[in-house]
Structure 1
Amino acid sequence: MNGRGAAEAIDRRLRSERILQAEGVPFLAALPVIETAAEALKRSKEEVALRTLCVLFVAAKGEGLGEDLVEQLLGSYELRPHLTPVELAFVLDKSPSQHDRIQFTWRHEAAWTLLWALGFVAQLGKPAQFCDVGFAASTMAERTTSQFIEDSELRPIADILDQADLIYRYHWAVRNALARGQQIPAALDPGVTEERHHALNWLIGYQDQAWHHVTTDT
């Protein structure tokens, strides 16, 4: 990381820490900086849009979308080539376990983060409340795949990195509290925080990990 990159990364960390401080969220000053704009992966709008549709689709299946509708949407949105093997197996499973249903339903929070990156959601805010599942689902239901891609407007990588840095520090605070048996600060929700961190790490290409193998290290 050159001097300019280091300055960018440190400035981003300091901005995150000011937000956390204002919200009463503890932070670890020694926590490293994250990637810079020069280092981060620049995903295309189409790639992010297709991933968002896949995540919305599997989350809806997790929540109980009927099998007939699952088959219909799989065809009409032409998502089969874009689903991960794990997602496709879940989608094709006629009687998935309750555990799998719950895990995929949580993906709504990752989808919300991707919808923010595409401009459908105005702001993310603190990861303390569940997303608006109805609104998230409607962004897909009201559009074809091509319309969804066309209506997307990918945010600048600097904005995505700002959120990736911030969620990294939120997640540290959540895990630190859980490890110490303390109350989680500022009403942060562990599940929302985890899913947002997952989506943001994928967006910036953290360690070149594929969607289903993304880690949320803190």
Structure 2
Amino acid sequence: MEDLKTNTTNYLASVGIEVPSQLPVIEGLDEVVPKSATDVAGRLCALAYVIGLGFGAKGSDLCALLQKFDLMQFVSEHEKKLLGAVVLGDQDKEDMFWQKECAQALAWCIGLVELDHFKHCDDDLAHKIPFKIDPNNFIRSAILRPIYEIQEQSDLLYRMHWYTKNCRLIGQHCDLSESIISKRRKAIDWAYGVEENWDEVPMDT
């Protein structure tokens, strides 16, 4: 894990991102319970609907579709509350809007897209996820990337997240978006198995 940390830190320095060498290592494989390809693909399909809250879709309509395609099992408890809310607050809408970056990261985990953390999610991301059609074949046929690749992303996003937060705190220009990095980190750490509960994935730096 020290080697992974060193490699990540050196890579970040090569692209102009300096992070402290004293930042800790992330969890090793003996400390996590990685999600299966089915877990990741199912969660991705569910997110395709949940994200609609950030674009003004009605929660009741989204719930009906999630239930129709047996995807409620992949929706977090917090999201279920938002889907059932009569009125959604502006912050909740914004949070759901940014879930598209979680979707980009999950789609990467099963080989649908690439990740460029300096850019927003792919313009055609939505077209790569089953929507308003039966997702069973998509979920069953999903194949997870090698766990070491997901581990590398977890380490990279942890250090990038520290950098974006530090830039904000000290008022320094940052070429990375904290919203993009934090959402992708949450999704990758969940897939890596840092935390079972999506709503409780730690975001400390």
- Do Structure 1 and Structure 2 share a fold, with TM-score over 0.5? yes
Aligned with 1:88 (options 62, 74, 80) = 80
Matched, 1:168 2:158: yes
**AA matched with 1:174:** T
Provide the identity percentage. 28
Matched, 1:15 2:7: yes
Change (3 A) 1:124 1:30: same
Secondary structure at 1:154's aligned position in 2? coil
2:144 paired residue number: 154
1:69 shift after superposition: 4.5
Aligned with 2:21 (options 18, 29, 48) = 29
Matched, 1:200 2:188: yes
**AA matched with 2:191:** L
Q: How many residues align?
A: 205
TM (norm. structure 1) is 0.85
**Distance in 2 separating the partners of 1:139 and 1:82:** 15
Matched, 1:55 2:43: no
1:216 paired residue number: 203
**Distance in 2 separating the partners of 1:148 and 1:142:** 13
1:209 shift after superposition: 5.0
Runs of 4+ aligned residues of structure 1 deviating over 3 Å after TM superposition are: 66-69
2:179 paired residue number: 191
Change (3 A) 1:67 1:213: closer
TM (norm. structure 2) is 0.90
CA deviations on 1:128-184 (whole Å, 9 max, x unpaired) are 221025423541228522122133211111110000000111111111111212112
Equivalent pair of 2:41/2:142 in contact (CA under 8 Å): yes
1:145 paired residue number: 135
Matched, 1:124 2:115: yes
1:77 paired residue number: 69
* RMSD of aligned alpha carbons: 2.0
Equivalent pair of 1:59/1:107 in contact (CA under 8 Å): yes
Equivalent pair of 1:10/1:33 in contact (CA under 8 Å): yes
Equivalent pair of 2:54/2:95 in contact (CA under 8 Å): yes
**Distance in 1 separating the partners of 2:83 and 2:89:** 12
Equivalent pair of 1:16/1:166 in contact (CA under 8 Å): yes
Change (3 A) 1:124 1:198: same
Equivalent pair of 2:48/2:131 in contact (CA under 8 Å): no
Equivalent pair of 1:120/1:152 in contact (CA under 8 Å): no
Secondary structure at 1:110's aligned position in 2? helix
Secondary structure at 1:78's aligned position in 2? coil
Answer with 109-118 or 33-42: which moved more.
Answer: 33-42
**Distance in 1 separating the partners of 2:132 and 2:69:** 12
**Distance in 1 separating the partners of 2:203 and 2:73:** 26
* Unaligned stretches of 5+ residues in structure 1: 1-8
* Unaligned stretches of 5+ residues in structure 2: none
1:212 shift after superposition: 0.6
**AA matched with 1:199:** A
Change (3 A) 1:60 1:18: same
